[in-house]
Structure 1
């Protein structure tokens, strides 16, 4: 779908090769090495877990050498656990068929419909590069038209002629899209620095400040846009439309970084056959042993057997199987795993996930639901062919968040996906569709609520008040009061940093989803995975000690 200069967004959040090209490995054969083999357990086979395995194997290869275990910088095994029977996590599809078309000599074909993470964009370098590496076929979406719906009428309908859409945008929103585009470019450029930097980060605060993302992550979107001179009409009719469809949030419920990322949706694309194929490819290339349909019950820290050794971890499945690992990577939200962490795991920042209802309908949308004779956009109901592919709603009277055409079938029907905060009623479906062949529904915790994360307050440098001992009854000396104030400041600083979350939560245990309060997309999950792969590489190869990796 095309964004044009007014930053049109895709219809779902915010990532792949032909499955037959790869076979999931049972793990490479153990090579005879003098150095003791290190073992890594990755719990979760979504974007974060798959990319951690993929990049760790790459980082352990000597430069210019082909991938063989005996040539790794240090012998290492990777085991991936997931309770699902599929790789991909929240990146899921369901399969249906497009009926045969005898008149055009087209046979029946299988279609993959994205349930969760639907699109990625050109600047998502990890996903784009993996697509090329795995030989996947890309389906571009920039030719699909978008409309903005307020629950009563269309506020904007995109034209097939891009120039005309730009003129309509200028007439309605003035220069606001251009101003926002400048903010987008600055934010995207800051995030792109990760791809060229060799640095690894042990906390989200460290990562966000290194890439100048912390300010936008600490303020609500409506306050941020107002401070940047973005008019309220554009904020509500375009930016809020994007945050609603991508994160189920209005502008007063999401930080500005999340909103800006949703607007950076130029060159939207999918993988034919399903985006999950990227993560299948990553897992296959990593050479990891894969244990699907395996739920972890407990992770227990084992005390070192001798001085100077690092602790190991015993992983126990719900069926009672046990295995010992040197490092643990948790690639799933801690609160949803129900794993017993017997490792003195410190409290993590509270991350609430928003419940989204996704409804899939095969049939025909009823255009008269949207158009009336008095519509300011169109005086007559359009044909199904001219109907917008994506209808995104503002925070007004809309009965759903978004409605997007996923496939146009040979018999004239479409398959549409509707996002909504609650399950759609039969009455609403009767009004929305002139006919329905089938309806599918999925309720799930789709993405986190991206609330502002507090910034660390800088000390103002003021000298503490001089207090003579005994005069105010406190008995504090000047030195004692200064010391107490300093301790109070350090405690406040630690509390602020803890609100951002740690990547290595305890020595040897790494948490991919610590990135989620900052931003949650398929691409940023792979960034989190690669960052942890760098930390693991350094630990395994011995580039830096534990103390350095755990500095706050």
Structure 2
């Protein structure tokens, strides 16, 4: 069973099983045209974006111009709440379902995330994952590229060499060794503000604000408490998304009475105890805007602090999601001749797939530049002959 959307006081909508045809009928009955209009709007908006993957749009020179050409600026330039209202999609569907999705995917309420990212948050049907972690996709890409990989090595400085139109890159290994080399093209494939790269030659790309996301993983033999969630059944669902209650400021940036963005069971575990007995445990994940304490975990389980309910826990604070504020212009990929940047895409759409697309686009533009330069050199050479 899956629960969808807890407002900090009660569950406002429930989806059982995998959301089959009967669940769709119930959603249609509860939300009417807002449900069907959302499906149509997601299909239309995301469909326009998908044109960026293929010719004649790909590869593009300007992300801003491409967004204009694909009629995506109306979506990026307005908050999700306004974008939905414009398309006659309103409460309770927007608050109970769509906002629950933007909160779990981007830690943002509808008033503070643009319309395009709102549509992306609702287009997760058919999502897949790689066994062992999605990082393996990119690790395999690097391995198959035949590139010279330097792990535990941080780029510290990038400077232009005007005479040769190349770039000098300096890096420092974890053992303190300093490396430097000269390159025709340099691609910065991380948000520049987090890179710690210094440069007298680079005009720093636009700084994008990111949300602080606290991720709490923990294992326990106990399920979450129905009492905590004011739930009238014996078993609390495996996944709980959250939203704001109707009497709360719907334009707020805050998480609201729920205090967390989402909690879910990742999988079950079998732990061998000291007496040799195998015990079933649950591995949980909590997304929250603030540090989620052991006391709050015990509260969610309605257990005393000395109950030894936690057998393992791990916490991480990171800037997982950019704050997708409405905007109509975007950081361009080419910072200078031979200098490229992929993270401008983050303010447009932020996910692994779109950052991969941004990298693919930069690579295509680099190769196109090499091809053009070679062709011009051959033409010039033929003229001299």
**Normalising by structure 2, what TM-score?**
0.85
SS for the counterpart of 1:301 is strand
Q: Give the alignment partner of residue 440 of structure 1, picking from 298, 310, 314.
A: 314
1:150 aligns to 2:7 (yes or no): yes
After superposition, residues 169-318 of structure 1 pair within 5 angstroms as 169-198=27-56, 199-305=58-164, 311-318=165-172
SS for the counterpart of 1:394 is coil
Distance 1:365 1:440 in 2: 18
CA 1:545–1:212 in 2, change beyond 3 Å: closer, same or farther?
farther
Distance 2:27 2:282 in 1: 29
Partner of 1:338: 196
Distance 2:207 2:180 in 1: 30
Q: Is the 8 A contact 1:299 1:340 kept in 2?
A: yes
Distance 2:27 2:70 in 1: 32
Query: How far is 1:203 from its partner?
Result: 2.2
Q: Which moved more, 1:259-268 or 1:161-170?
A: 161-170
Q: CA RMSD in A?
A: 2.0
1:532 aligns to 2:362 (yes or no): yes
Could you list the per-position Cα deviations for residues 30-87 of structure 1 after superposition, in whole angstroms to 9, with x for gaps in the alignment? Answer: xxxxxxxxxxxxxxxxxxxxxxxxxxxxxxxxxxxxxxxxxxxxxxxxxxxxxxxxxx
CA 1:350–1:412 in 2, change beyond 3 Å: closer, same or farther?
same
SS for the counterpart of 1:270 is coil
Distance 2:84 2:130 in 1: 33
Query: How far is 1:347 from its partner?
Result: 4.6
CA 1:444–1:169 in 2, change beyond 3 Å: closer, same or farther?
same
Larger Rg: 1
Query: How far is 1:238 from its partner?
Result: 1.0
Query: How far is 1:156 from its partner?
Result: 1.5
Distance 1:224 1:366 in 2: 36
Q: Is the 8 A contact 2:81 2:110 kept in 1?
A: yes
Q: Is the 8 A contact 2:192 2:204 kept in 1?
A: no
SS for the counterpart of 1:368 is coil
Query: How far is 1:545 from its partner?
Result: 9.4
Partner of 2:265: 405
Q: Is the 8 A contact 1:369 1:431 kept in 2?
A: no
What are structure 2's unaligned runs of at least 5 residues? 245-255, 271-278, 304-308, 377-385
Distance 2:116 2:374 in 1: 32
Distance 2:23 2:218 in 1: 29
Could you list the per-position Cα deviations for residues 517-545 of structure 1 after superposition, in whole angstroms to 9, with x for gaps in the alignment? Answer: 10110100111011001101111122799
SS for the counterpart of 2:233 is coil
Q: Give the alignment partner of residue 380 of structure 1, picking from 233, 246, 251.
A: 233
SS for the counterpart of 2:178 is coil
After superposition, residues 111-122 of structure 1 pair within 5 angstroms as none
CA 1:253–1:371 in 2, change beyond 3 Å: closer, same or farther?
closer
Q: Is the 8 A contact 2:219 2:313 kept in 1?
A: yes
Q: Give the alignment partner of residue 159 of structure 1, picking from 16, 24, 28.
A: 16
Q: Is the 8 A contact 2:213 2:289 kept in 1?
A: yes
Q: Is the 8 A contact 1:371 1:380 kept in 2?
A: no
Distance 1:187 1:359 in 2: 33
Q: Give the alignment partner of residue 238 of structure 2, picking from 385, 389, 394.
A: 389
Partner of 1:329: 187
Partner of 2:383: none
Distance 1:342 1:360 in 2: 42
SS for the counterpart of 2:226 is helix
SS for the counterpart of 1:232 is coil
Q: Which has the higher contact order (CA 8 A, sep 6+)?
A: 1
Q: Give the alignment partner of residue 351 of structure 1, picking from 201, 208, 220.
A: 208
Distance 1:188 1:227 in 2: 17
Query: How far is 1:446 from its partner?
Result: 0.6
Distance 1:349 1:544 in 2: 32
Partner of 2:350: 520
Distance 1:545 1:513 in 2: 30
What are structure 1's unaligned runs of at least 5 residues? 1-143, 306-310, 455-498, 547-552
Partner of 1:84: none
Distance 2:314 2:181 in 1: 40
Query: How far is 1:191 from its partner?
Result: 1.8
